[in-house]
Amino acid sequence: MEVEIKYDGCTPTKEEKILINRFINNLKKSHPLNDDVTIVFQTERSEKMTTGVRTNNHKLKILVKDRLNRDILRTVAHEWVHEHQRSVLKRKKQKNIGSENENEANAKSGEEVKKFEKTNKKLEKTIYSRFSEEISKIESILNEEIPSNRKIISEIKKISIEQLPYDYDSLGSFIDDETMKTHYTKHYKGYVEKLNLELEKVSGKDMDIEEIIKKISRFNKKVKNNGGGAFNHALFWKMMTPKKTTLKNPLLFKIEKTFESVELFKEKFEEIAKTRFGSGWVWLILTKNNTLKIVTTPNQDNPLMDTEKNGGYPLLGLDIWEHAYYLKYKNERDKYIHNFWKVVNWDFVCDVYVSQTKKKI
């Protein structure tokens, strides 16, 4: 099996080439392939490509523009695992989101990068140095509080800020521009920043945010509050959209079976949201027994935390802290809760449901 590497529109340094070759050598060992492959690092996005794509003639196309090197390695591993699934395991092509192949590629590529970073300490400088400009951009967005002497490498290893998938003013039927802006740039980013500061002091900093949440009982109160804030909001942003989406099967069927109708489900969700006294969240969750349930959590707790007795995987959640609605709704919290339905991203919610159900089988 041979690997041919091509660079289209970019010229890597000698160190970067060494780095890429080493990484690919690891992949050859952990996921051997049957056929020769070509890997193309390209600066222009080709059709049907977000960050990488595998084509039928054993070509892996990797986008290198405006991205951090760590993500590029991750993409190489991701597409490589897909090639392995098709050529060695002889699996059929599956959907991009939530499928077994996709989940596996995500998990394995993460492992490969982590493993690589551990064994190639000296190369870290090469991996990250070219991107110092981008990192400083991220820092300046984050806020002024970050000590300027913080090392680039530790920056990039931290829990990252999820991008808002739409503009601040695009959820106008539900929430106003100013609230969204403050909510995202101050509250949410504040949680992520404080979480990262705290994680520097404790063990467990190599975990991703979902792992931390699932094992939250191992951590202190600061990690619980800020980790919860980071995770809850990252989910919340994705659970909303300005686009029109519809509730589809199999989740539609499950909701109708559990709550009789979608309307009754919504009523119940609103009713339980209203029972939350003070700050917290309301959730639709998938329990360990594969049933749907509506629950509320206080503060920034999440149903996925191992401290929750009756928890589960969050499918849909609504932030009912005052900071989420007060500028627009003042004391009319019920109205805020009701208007949430106008912006729910059912596509996302359905995808999460499908992928979480599959994991249990």
Query: In this structure, what token pair is assigned to residue 316?
Result: 């849909």
Name the minimum Å distance from CB 324 to Mn ion. Answer: 5
Contact present, 257 and 222 (Cβ < 8 Å): no
User: Rule CB under 5 A: is residue 79 a binding residue for Mn ion?
Assistant: no
Q: Which is nearer to Mn ion, 231 or 265 (CB)?
A: 231
Q: Which is nearer to Mn ion, 131 or 321 (CB)?
A: 321
Backbone torsion region of residue 333, taken as left when φ is above 0, otherwise alpha when ψ lies between -120 and 50, otherwise beta? alpha
Q: Are strands 37-42 and 3-8 parallel, antiparallel or unpaired?
A: parallel
Name the minimum Å distance from CB 343 to Mn ion. Answer: 15
Q: Of 323, 352, 333, 361, which Cα lies nearest the Cα of 98? A: 352
Q: How far apart are CA 69 and CA 128, in angstroms?
A: 7
Where helices occur in 98-169 by DSSP H, the ranges are 100-119, 124-129, 132-142, 152-157
Name the minimum Å distance from CB 267 to Mn ion. Answer: 24
Residue 8 dihedral angles phi and psi, to the nearest 5°: -115, 105
Q: Of 24, 21, 61, which Cα lies nearest the Cα of 40? A: 61
Residue nearest to Mn ion (CB): 319
Q: With 0-12 CB in 10 A as exposed, 13-18 as middle and 19+ as buried, what is 77?
A: buried
Q: Which parts of 279-338 interact with Mn ion (CB under 5 A)? A: 319, 321, 324
Q: Which is nearer to Mn ion, 179 or 241 (CB)?
A: 179
Q: Which is nearer to Mn ion, 164 or 354 (CB)?
A: 164
Q: Which is nearer to Mn ion, 188 or 219 (CB)?
A: 188
CB neighbours of 352 closer than 8 A, spacing ≥ 6? 98, 313, 314, 315
Q: Which residues does residue 22 pair with via DSSP β-bridges, in sequence order? A: none
Q: How many residues bind Mn ion (CB under 5 A)?
A: 3
Instruction: Give the number of C-alpha atoms closer than 13 A to the C-alpha of residue 280, restricted to the C-beta side.
Output: 16
Q: Are strands 292-298 and 280-286 parallel, antiparallel or unpaired?
A: antiparallel
Q: Which is nearer to Mn ion, 237 or 321 (CB)?
A: 321
Contact present, 283 and 296 (Cβ < 8 Å): yes
Name the minimum Å distance from CB 167 to Mn ion. Answer: 18
Name the minimum Å distance from CB 358 to Mn ion. Answer: 30
Contact present, 337 and 274 (Cβ < 8 Å): yes
Q: How far apart are CA 269 and CA 340, in angstroms?
A: 11
Name the minimum Å distance from CB 319 to Mn ion. Answer: 4
Q: How far apart are CA 145 and CA 163, in angstroms?
A: 20
Name the minimum Å distance from CB 355 to Mn ion. Answer: 25
Q: Are strands 313-319 and 292-298 parallel, antiparallel or unpaired?
A: unpaired
Name the minimum Å distance from CB 318 to Mn ion. Answer: 10
Name the minimum Å distance from CB 186 to Mn ion. Answer: 10
Residues that bind Mn ion (CB under 5 A): 319, 321, 324
